[in-house]
Chain A
Amino acid sequence: MSKKATKEELMIIAVAREIKDGDKVILGVGLPTTAGGLAKAINAPNCVLMTEAGIIDFEPQVPPNHIADVMCLRGFACAEDLFNTFTTINYRGFVDKAILGVGQVDRYGNLNTSFMEGGPTTGMRLTGAGGAPDFIAYAQETILTLRNGEFVEKLDYFTSPGYLGGGSERDDSGLFPKGSGPTMLISTEGIFRFDKVTKEIYLESLLPGFTAEDIKAKVPWDLKVADPIKPPPTPTEEEIEYIRTFAPQHCVPRQVMMELAAGKFMEVLFGKNKKE
C-alpha cells in the first residue's frame, strides 16, 4: 500500500532498498544513517552497519549527529579504531557497500568534497576528504547522495576516485578491487546509475515533480537517460512509519527543519520571559 511521502523520504527509501540482507555497510552521516537504520529495521535485518570511527555493528535509536556518535546507540558489537576499520575491514575487502555524501560529481562518479570555486588556498573550502577516498576505493559498491552538490565536467579538486576516465580505467589501474566502484547516485530530483561498459552516469528514474529536462539543465554534458525511465520507489506504510518515527528531522525539507529548530531555540532562549 502506498503512502504520501516527502522527497526526502523517497531518497531514504531508495537508498535503504539498495542494502541487501547480510551486507556490511559503511555509513556517512545524515541520510545514509537513516537509510541504514531503515534497511536494518525492514528489508535487511542482518546487515552490519559501521562507521569509520570504529563503531561496528550498530542499530541506531536516534539519528547520529556525526559518524563518531555513540550516544545514538544502545551499545554496539565491536569497538574498533579508525586505523583498523580502514585496514582490517575496508582494505581487506569486507565492505559490501559504502554510502557517502557528495559535493561535486563528474560523469564517471569521481567526487569532490574538498574545494570549490578555486584551489586549496583560494577556493571555497568544503568539509574535506574524511573517509571518502579510501572507502570508495575499496568498498565493493558505493552509493552516492547529492543534496546540495552539483554535476561538473571537471572537478575543482579530485578528492575521491569513481571510475576515473571511464570504461575499464578503474579496473585496469590495478589499484582497486575488480568490479568495484559507485553503483548509484541519488539527488533530490532523481536516481542515477552507471553504465556497465562506459561507466558513464545516466538518469534511471525521476522523483515526483521533476522532468528529465529539469535534470539535464543542471548537468553540463548531454546526460543519458534510461528508456523507458523507471518509476520512483513506491513507499510502503511500514517504511514511512519507521523513518518518520526514527528520524523526523531527515523526513522534512531543509527549510522546514530550520523553521522548526528556530522555534525551539526561541523557546529555550526567551521562553521564560514570554510566560512572565
Chain B
Amino acid sequence: MPENKASKIMTTGEAIERFVRDGCELVIGNYTVGTCYNQISEIIRRGIKGLTIYSQSGVFDVEMLIAGGCVDRAVLTYCLRSGGRSGGSMLERRQRAGKVRAEDFSNFTYNAMLTAGAMGYSFMPVLPAIMTSDVFKVRDFMGEDKFRVVECPYTKKPIPVVQGVNPDVCVVHVQRADRHGNAQYWGALGSVKWACLASKKVIVSCEEIVHEDIVKSSPHNTIVPGFRVDAVIEEPLGAHPAELSGCYNLDVLFWSLADMANKTEEGFMAWMDEWVYGVEDRASYIERYVRKFGKKSLDALMARPYYSAPADYGAAFDSMWDEEGKMRYWGKTRQEIENILEERGFLIDVEKSD
C-alpha cells in the first residue's frame, strides 16, 4: 500500500529533524490559541539556529524560540511583554543586544503576505490607511520590500502592497487529523489556514489522529488538504499552556508563572531550563507538570463538550442503479442498455477491429 512506503505519521522529534533546518524560514501557524508548544520546544532542544520566524501573535512561542537562540530575524505583529514597564521580553532584550532583528507589521498586513503566498500571488493589496502608520514607514531587514505602493489600474489611486511569502516550513497544532495529513481545526480561525497553505512544508501535530471517515464526514473543518502536509504527529496536550477549542482551557496559573519569570532574562532562562531543556518530550513535560501542580490542576483545564450540530452531508442515493437494478434516469437495466449498444453497433471488439 502506498501509505506504508510514505507514512506521514511520526513523532515530534522525527518531524523537526526531517523538516526544520538551520537558517530556514519558519512560520508558527497558530494564532494566539492552540500554539504548537510541543514543536517549538523540540526545535529549541535540537539547537536549531538562524531561523527567520513569522508569527501572527507571539506569546511564549516567540519568547522561547528567541531565548533558545534559534532566531536571527522575526516577522511580527504583536508580541508579549511581561511585567509592564519595569519588565520586558526576550525579544526586547535580544533586539537591544543586536542579536535579533525584527520587522513589525499589523495583524492584517502580515496575514496578507501569507495569503498572497498561499494563493501564488507575488503581492497583495493592503488597506490604504496603513500608509499613515510607522508600521508602513519604519523598515528593518525587509527594507523597500516591506511595503511597496502601486497604482490601481482602475481607480488610479495609490495602493500599498505587501509581498507574497512562502516560508520553508509551517509548524501547527490542531484538534485532529487523519493519517494523510488532512488537518481539522476549529475555533478562532485567525490566519492558521493561510500559514499552512503559504508554506512549502507543513508539520501538523494534533490531539488525536482519527480515521479518515471522520474527516470525510466533516470536511468543513479541514483547513489544509492532506497532500500539502508532510508530517502528522499525535501529541495530546501539545498546545499546553495555550488552549484549544473543545479540548482544554488556557492554563492561567502556569501562564502567569511563566509571565512572572519573563520579567527578567535570568528568570525566563530558569523557566526554560525547567520546562524545555529539563524535559525530553511532551509526555515528560506533562509528567513534570502533574508532579509539580497535581493532576487536579490539569483536570481542571479539560473542556466540557459542546458539540457542533452535525452537518448532514447525505444524498438521495449512492448508486446510479435503483432497487430494481434500473438506471435511475433511464429506467433501464444494465443488460437493456448493453443490448441497445450492441444492436446499434456501438460496442467495438478492439482485438478484431481494423
Contact = CB atoms under 8 A, between A and B. Distances in A.
Contact of B127 (A52, A81, A130, A138): A138
Nearest to B250: A65
B92 A124 contact: yes
Contact of B245 (A71, A114, A159): A71
Interface string B82-96: 001100110110011
Contacts of B98: 121
A173 B105 CA distance: 22
Residue among A80, A87, A134, A160 with max Cβ neighbours from chain B (10 Å): A134
Interface residues of A, number: 58
Given A52-B107, A86-B108, A159 B140 contact: no
Contacts of A70: 33, 187-188, 245
Contacts of A159: 133-135
Nearest to A121: B95
Interface residues of B, number: 66
Contact of B76 (A91, A128, A173): A128
Contacts of A268: 253, 293-294, 297
Nearest to A122: B96
Residue among A82, A129, A133 with max Cβ neighbours from chain B (10 Å): A82
B221 to A, nearest CB: 10
Contact of A161 (B78, B79, B85, B132): B132
Contacts of A122: 96
Nearest to B56: A82
Interface string B217-258: 000000000000000000000000001010001101100110
Contacts of A52: 107
B135 A53 contact: no
Interface in B83-120: 84-85, 88-89, 91-92, 95-96, 98, 101-102, 104-109, 111-112, 115
B188 A69 contact: yes
Interface string B294-324: 1001000001001000000000000000000
Which 7 A/B pairs are nearest by Cβ-Cβ distance?
A137-B129, A68-B188, A53-B188, A68-B32, A81-B189, A86-B108, A125-B92
Given A126-B81, A158-B137, A268-B297, 20 more contacts: A69-B188, A69-B250, A70-B245, A71-B245, A80-B189, A82-B111, A83-B111, A83-B112, A86-B107, A114-B134, A120-B95, A120-B102, A128-B104, A129-B135, A130-B57, A134-B109, A134-B130, A157-B134, A160-B133, A164-B132
Interface of B: 31-33, 56-57, 76-81, 84-85, 88-89, 91-92, 95-96, 98, 101-102, 104-109, 111-112, 115, 127-135, 137-138, 140, 157, 186-194, 243, 245, 249-250, 252-253, 256-257, 293-294, 297, 303, 306
